[in-house]
Amino acid sequence: MLAVKDLVNPNITNKKTDLKINQNMNLKDIDLGIFGSSIYEYTNVVDDEDHIVGAVKTERLVYMITKNKENSFVQILDTMDAGIVVIDMDSRIFYVNPAYGKILNISINKILGRYMSIIEPEAALLDVIRTRKGKKVRNQHIKSINTYVDISTHPLVNDGIMTGAYSIFTDVTTENKLHQEVKKMSAVTEEYNQQTQAKEFLRENQIIGESKVYLECVNRALRVATTDTMVLVRGENGTGKEVIVNLIKSHCARKNRPFITVNCSAIPDTLIESELFGYEEGSFTGASKGGKMGKFQLADGGTLFLDEIGDMPYQMQAKLLRVLQEGEIEKVGRQKNIPIDVRVIAATNRNLEEMVKEGAFREDLYYRLNVVSIHIPPLRERGNDVLLLTDYFLQKYCKQYGRELRADRSIYQLFVAYGWPGNVRELKNAVESAVVLCETDTITAADLPENIRGCELSAEPSAVPGTDGYIMGGGGRPLKEEVENFEKYVIFRTIERCGGDKNKAMEMLGMSKRTFYRKIANYGTKPK
């Protein structure tokens, strides 16, 4: 057991004190009550003849006495997970339990005996001394150690007289982080509910195409998907940029993390900063209570898709560039930056190079985004993909509207000749419109939009190469035979792609079981 003599400094004597302690006295035998409310810096130590032989630093003595008391109450305080600190009426610290030092990451010996008013002038515990009333403070952030604590302060009363105050600290950093994560996931869920349902989207937008240029585009997307690099997806309106983006997302390491879409052209210039980065409560008139997470925070750990990036206001481009470079965002109304981990994919139908020359798009942002560029070819450059897509959409909308229709022999040749300025989206709409408007069991040119049926057909057969040698109209065959032969080609080629799995091929083509097997029986063999 530690004795007073173990703490004595013989070089320090004759210090004022109200207490005299024999050098050989056991610490556990000293009554803490004799110190009263006034504690001097040093306490004298005397021998049996009352000669001063040295002095002990009072706060050290008090601390060691407390630690050596075989008292169940003190032992309980020392083993509690909650941090406890006790001060006297002069704000001097005379008890701290180990948990307090652990929570606040400080050494107990460095604060014992010091004044709380000097160490932490804004401490809630000091308010108790001034007001003689306790209070509770929830989720207080201690900036120096980036810790969140709940604080409960109380007056220390002895025989009806207030002798000091004490605080109980509870570390809620983990709970706070969990709360933030739950809040974030709730916001992400809400965001997903506002967007297209993933499964439905993938079902309705299967990747259809066998042309060389489109397969190269898809292969490029698959290669870049396995990395975390930024991607710029480019293409005309209606080419299916979102399909390629979702292909990248579904094959990357972040596929099970948030995927957030932002249409830069659909957000007013005055709101785009708060939409992207969020804002703090009270940062501006009309700000929601509790603030709002921006799209970057919602996508943290996942992917952020910036659609129509070419339409982003010029003044916002510099802020976006800083986020991409630093990996940090700054909420509106908040000074401290927030680190984020987001993979960014951007898409545009604009000519960014021309915009850079015209001063409408920042050159540094252009190069930052354009690490890997994926160009989606327009439909007019995809050869027989027009026919594959026509068949796919015809089956899709016949099923959707409960109809059994076929396309007239002239439709395929007309679709190949047409330039499709609206690309896949225009083709999709044209087929849906024809399915809805057709009054017979056969779709003709009369059922198509006027701009398409007015297209002039070439006098020569449209020799359009397929992906593996099939040529539409290249053999001088009658159109009926040509259409039937192409249908054969599509069916049997799909079966090959599915490794001979007819059920899978049937599902991919969107055909009923009855129709699928009837056509196989009729055609018999693969087309030449």
At 244, the amino acid letter reads: I
Give residue 462's pLDDT.
41
Give residue 73's pLDDT.
60
Tokens 């556990």 -> residue: 28
Tokens 């060691």 -> residue: 64
pLDDT bin (cut points 50, 70, 90) of residue 494 is confident
pLDDT bin (cut points 50, 70, 90) of residue 32 is low
Give residue 183's pLDDT.
60
**151 pLDDT above the threshold of 90:** no
Domain with 141, as residue range(s), is 72-171
156 and 273 in a single domain? The answer is no
3-state helix, strand, coil in the chain (%, to 5): 45, 20, 35
Q: What is the dihedral of CA 114, 120, 122, 127, to 10 degrees?
A: -30
Give residue 417's pLDDT.
82
Range of lowest pLDDT (119-123, 216-220, 391-395, 440-444): 119-123
pLDDT bin (cut points 50, 70, 90) of residue 202 is very low
Q: Is 131 among the domain residues? A: yes
pLDDT bin (cut points 50, 70, 90) of residue 377 is very high
Q: Is 66 among the domain residues? A: no
- Using the 3D structure, point to which of 357, 377, 397 is the last residue of a domain: 377
**Global pTM value:** 0.51
351 and 241 in a single domain? The answer is yes
103: CATH = 3.30.450.20
Contact of 404 with 518, CB cutoff 8 Å: no
Range with top average pLDDT, 57-66, 172-181, 289-298, 491-500 = 289-298
492 and 361 in a single domain? The answer is no
Rounded to 10°, the helix 385-400/502-509 angle is 80
**506 pLDDT above the threshold of 50:** yes
500: CATH = 1.10.8.60
How far is CA 76 from its chain centroid? 43
Q: Is 370 among the domain residues? A: yes
421 and 451 in a single domain? The answer is yes
211 and 289 in a single domain? The answer is yes
Q: What value does the mean pLDDT take over residues 475-495?
A: 70
> What is the length of the chain?
528
213 and 162 in a single domain? The answer is no
pLDDT bin (cut points 50, 70, 90) of residue 198 is very low
Q: Is 353 among the domain residues? A: yes
Q: In angstroms, rounded to a whole number, what is the distance separating the alpha carbons of residues 505 and 83?
A: 66
pLDDT bin (cut points 50, 70, 90) of residue 359 is very high
Q: Is 528 among the domain residues? A: no
Q: Is 148 left (phi over 0), alpha (psi -120 to 50) or beta?
A: beta
- Using the 3D structure, point to which of 119, 146, 171 is the last residue of a domain: 171
Range with top average pLDDT, 155-159, 179-183, 417-421 = 417-421
311 and 184 in a single domain? The answer is yes
Contact of 237 with 331, CB cutoff 8 Å: no
Q: What is the dihedral of CA 150, 155, 159, 160, to 10 degrees?
A: -130
The structural domain count of the chain equals: 4
260 and 336 in a single domain? The answer is yes
Q: Is 443 among the domain residues? A: yes
Q: In angstroms, rounded to a whole number, what is the distance separating the alpha carbons of residues 180 and 191?
A: 16
Give residue 197's pLDDT.
40
Of the two residues 122 and 258, the one the predictor is more confident about is 258
189 and 158 in a single domain? The answer is no
Report the b/e string of 211-230 with b at 16+ CB within 10 A.
Answer: bebbeebbebbeebbeeeeb
Q: Is 289 among the domain residues? A: yes
Note the maximum CA span of the chain.
131
Range of lowest pLDDT (262-276, 377-391, 486-500): 486-500
Q: In angstroms, rounded to a whole number, what is the distance separating the alpha carbons of residues 149 and 120?
A: 15
479 and 420 in a single domain? The answer is yes
341 and 367 in a single domain? The answer is yes
Q: What is the dihedral of CA 297, 298, 300, 303, to 10 degrees?
A: -130
**257 pLDDT above the threshold of 60:** yes
Q: Is 67 among the domain residues? A: no
192 and 313 in a single domain? The answer is yes
Of the two residues 63 and 94, the one the predictor is more confident about is 94
Give residue 430's pLDDT.
94
Contact of 135 with 127, CB cutoff 8 Å: yes
- Using the 3D structure, point to which of 377, 402, 419 is the last residue of a domain: 377
At 399, the amino acid letter reads: K
Q: What value does the mean pLDDT take over residues 129-153?
A: 76
**374 pLDDT above the threshold of 80:** yes
Q: In angstroms, rounded to a whole number, what is the distance separating the alpha carbons of residues 54 and 23?
A: 9
The CA distances from residue 137 to 80, 91, 176, 221, 500, in Å, are 20, 19, 14, 52, 69
